[in-house]
Amino acid sequence: MVGGYGKENYRVIPRGYRTGESKAISLPLDTEGVDMICGGTVEVFIEVYINRPKLLIAGGGHVCYAIYNAALPLDFDIIIFDDREEFLNKERFPEAYDLVLGDIGKSLGGNYPIDENTYIVIVTRGGHKYDEEALAAVANTNAKYIGAMGSKKKNHNYVKKFKGERHGCRNVEKYLFSHRIENCHQ
């Protein structure tokens, strides 16, 4: 609260939220709506906190390890999902925000809120089965990015399948695969 009565808050707080940036502002106290008898100005520093972006990596193998290391300097909260304890541990991923051991599809589908500040990379083992389960769990989320590693044919089949009636994927245009997404609209 600034001042004694809080009238200034009405003008100060919205300014900080509108810009989304932390900064100092000068607030005149004789402005209409504030009408402080003392007049003058007050300097206010507004610090805006936003959540760090999340990088969810489905799969804990060698490709995940490379992505994890590449993402470390990018200031993500990195969460890794895998069902193999020997791959998913703090010794291997010491700076991960969280390690989720268990069924990848179920874990992705329920444990972590996925919002427009979430990036998802699917690089599971064993070909199509685990990738498809992970993709099904996140297909209709608000994630900013959903990517899966695979051949053109594999990813074309995924997009075709997930646009179909089974999943009714409304966000298929977000998938960035190894080929142009327009190929799916043929």
User: Does 164 share its domain with 181?
Assistant: yes
59-62: list long-range contacts, CB under 8 Å, 24+ apart.
59/104, 59/122, 59/123, 59/124, 59/125, 59/130, 59/134, 60/84, 60/87, 60/88, 60/92, 60/93, 60/99, 61/87, 61/123, 61/124, 61/125
> Structurally, how many domains does the chain consist of?
2
Q: What is the CATH number of the domain that holds 77?
A: 3.40.50.720
Residue 40 lies in domain: 9-46
User: Does 159 share its domain with 121?
Assistant: yes
Can you give the pLDDT at residue 22?
A: 81
Inform me whether the pLDDT recorded for 34 exceeds 70: no
User: Does 168 share its domain with 77?
Assistant: yes
Reduced to 3 states (helix: H, G, I; strand: E, B; else coil), residue 66 is: helix
C-beta of residue 135 within 8 angstroms of C-beta of residue 146: yes
The DSSP letter of residue 93 is: S
The answer to whether position 80 is within a domain reads yes
Can you give the pLDDT at residue 177?
A: 44
User: Does 20 share its domain with 71?
Assistant: no
User: Does 88 share its domain with 39?
Assistant: no
The answer to whether position 175 is within a domain reads yes
Q: Copy the structure tokens of residue 128.
A: 């199509």
User: Does 36 share its domain with 62?
Assistant: no
| Global pTM value | 0.68
The answer to whether position 31 is within a domain reads yes
Per-residue pLDDT band for 96 (boundaries 50, 70, 90) equals very high
Inform me whether the pLDDT recorded for 169 exceeds 80: no
What values do phi and psi take at 17, rounded to 5? -70, -35
| Residue 159 amino acid letter | V
User: Does 100 share its domain with 24?
Assistant: no
Segment of 27-31, 94-98, 104-108 carrying the highest mean pLDDT: 94-98
Q: Which residues of 61-99 are buried (b: 16+ CB within 10 A; e: fewer)?
A: eeebbebbeebeeeebebbbbbbeeebbeeeebeebeeb
Looking up tokens 């609260």 gives 1
User: Does 22 share its domain with 100?
Assistant: no
| Residue 155 amino acid letter | N
User: Does 147 share its domain with 63?
Assistant: yes
Q: Is 103 exposed, middle or buried (0-12, 13-18, 19+ CB in 10 A)?
A: middle
Q: Which residue has the higher pLDDT, 50 or 106?
A: 106
| Separation of alpha carbons 56 and 80, rounded Å | 6
The answer to whether position 2 is within a domain reads no
Inform me whether the pLDDT recorded for 10 exceeds 90: no
User: Does 94 share its domain with 23?
Assistant: no
Per-residue pLDDT band for 12 (boundaries 50, 70, 90) equals very low
User: Does 99 share its domain with 13?
Assistant: no
Inform me whether the pLDDT recorded for 84 exceeds 80: yes
The answer to whether position 4 is within a domain reads no
The answer to whether position 15 is within a domain reads yes
